[in-house]
Structure 1
Amino acid sequence: MYAIVNIAGKQFKVTKDQYVYAPKLAVDAGASVEFDEVLLADDNGTISLGAPTIAGAKVTGKVLDHVRGDKVIVFKKKRRKGYKKKNGHRQDYTKVLIENISL
């Protein structure tokens, strides 16, 4: 059984007992979260498709931790002009354990 769910504006294909690194959510670590924007669900070959979402379907999970992604280096340069700029960025994520998918 899997579902495609909208979490903070991004779509994730989730299954039970899976870890998802979603964009940072304003929820404390250890708290339970519920996602009700289920776009598609597959229950052993029976596919339910929402228009745009499936009414009554929910995905519940538990927030494990707030983490940061790998560092991305942004380097800009204009040759022969003496212009160089180096910048780094680390994106914030929330690690969520998917506990249950209910249709």
Structure 2
Amino acid sequence: MYAVIKTGGKQYRVSPGEKLKIEQILADIGDEISFKDVLSIGEGDKIEIGSPFLKDVVVKAKVLSHGKNKKIKIFKMRRRKHYQKHQGHRQSYTELYIDSIVNN
């Protein structure tokens, strides 16, 4: 069984027993969180799609850790103008363990 959830402006396909890195959310390590923005669920050939979300479907997850991704280097340059700009960015993430998909 799998579900498509929406969090942090992105959509993720998740299934129970899976680890997932998402945009950072405010939760402590070890907390149980639930996602109610479930776009669709499926199992085998059966698929159920919401408009826009499914009612009575919840994805439960546990927070494993918080951290930062690898640094992305940003370099801007204007030719012949002697302009160069160096920047870097590290995006914060939260790692989750998907416990279950509850369909009432």
TM-score of the aligned structures, taking structure 2 as reference length = 0.93
Inter-partner Cα distance in structure 2 for 1:9 and 1:60? 19
- Paired amino acid for 2:39: L
Pair 1:57 & 2:57 matched: yes
Give deviations 1:49-71, integer Å, cap 9, x for gaps. 11111110000000111111111
Pair 1:19 & 2:45 matched: no
1:92 maps to: 92
SS of corresponding position for 1:30:
coil
Inter-partner Cα distance in structure 2 for 1:85 and 1:52? 42
1:69 maps to: 69
1:9 to partner: Cα distance: 2.2
Identity between Structure 1 and Structure 2 (%): 35
- Paired amino acid for 1:85: K
1:45 to partner: Cα distance: 2.5
Inter-partner Cα distance in structure 1 for 2:10 and 2:59? 15
SS of corresponding position for 1:16:
coil
Which stretch shows the higher mean deviation, 30-39 or 79-88?
Answer: 79-88
1:83 to partner: Cα distance: 1.4
Pair 1:36 & 2:36 matched: yes
The alignment of Structure 1 onto Structure 2 pairs a total of residues equal to: 103
